[in-house]
C-alpha cells in the first residue's frame, strides 16, 4: 500500500485524527472472503485500502475513515515494535547479568 499523505491544512486530516481517537469504539469486522480485518466506522466498512463512504466510492479520494484506520494501524505497529524491543533489551540485560555471575564464579571476584 502506498503511504497516505496527511497535512495540517487538509480538513480530512483533522477529522481523521478525531476518528482515530475514538478507535476503541469502532466495530471490528473480518471479511469472510479474504480474511482481512475491517472496521465499522460511522456505518462504513473501512480497511486501509477501501471504504464504503461516498468520498471513497464516488469521488475516489482517500477519505477521513481510511486515514483514521491508517493512523491507528501505524500506531499499533509502533507500540508492538517498542514492546518487542523492550522485551529484547530485558533479555539482553538478564543474559549479561548471568554472564557476569558465571565469570565471577569461575574466575573469582576481584576486589
The distance from CA 2 to its chain's CA centroid, rounded to whole angstroms, is 16
Domain residue limits at 22:
12-107
Query: What is the reported pLDDT for 19?
Result: 93
Within a domain: residue 7? no
User: Would you say residue 111 has pLDDT above 50?
Assistant: no
Of the listed ranges 24-28, 31-35, 88-92, the one predicted with least confidence? 31-35
Within a domain: residue 82? yes
Rounded mean pLDDT of 51-61?
87
Within a domain: residue 25? yes
Mean of per-residue pLDDT scores for the chain:
86
Within a domain: residue 4? no
pTM metric for this prediction: 0.66
Within a domain: residue 39? yes
Within a domain: residue 5? no
What is the tally of structural domains in the chain?
1
Q: Which residue has the cell 517498542?
A: 82
Within a domain: residue 6? no
In the chain, the percentage of residues whose pLDDT exceeds 90 is 33
Query: What is the reported pLDDT for 77?
Result: 86
Within a domain: residue 1? no
Amino acid at each position: 500500500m502506498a503511504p497516505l499523505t496527511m497535512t495540517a491544512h487538509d480538513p480530512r486530516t483533522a477529522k481523521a485524527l478525531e476518528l482515530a481517537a475514538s478507535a476503541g469504539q469502532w466495530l471490528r469486522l473480518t471479511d469472510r472472503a479474504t480474511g482481512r480485518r475491517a472496521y465499522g466506522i460511522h456505518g462504513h466498512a473501512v480497511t486501509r485500502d477501501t471504504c464504503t463512504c461516498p468520498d471513497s466510492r464516488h469521488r475516489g479520494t482517500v477519505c477521513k475513515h481510511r486515514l483514521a484506520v491508517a493512523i491507528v494501524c501505524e500506531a499499533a505497529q509502533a507500540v508492538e515494535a517498542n514492546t518487542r524491543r523492550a522485551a529484547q533489551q530485558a533479555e539482553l540485560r538478564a543474559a549479561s547479568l548471568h554472564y557476569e555471575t558465571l565469570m565471577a564464579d569461575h574466575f573469582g571476584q576481584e576486589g
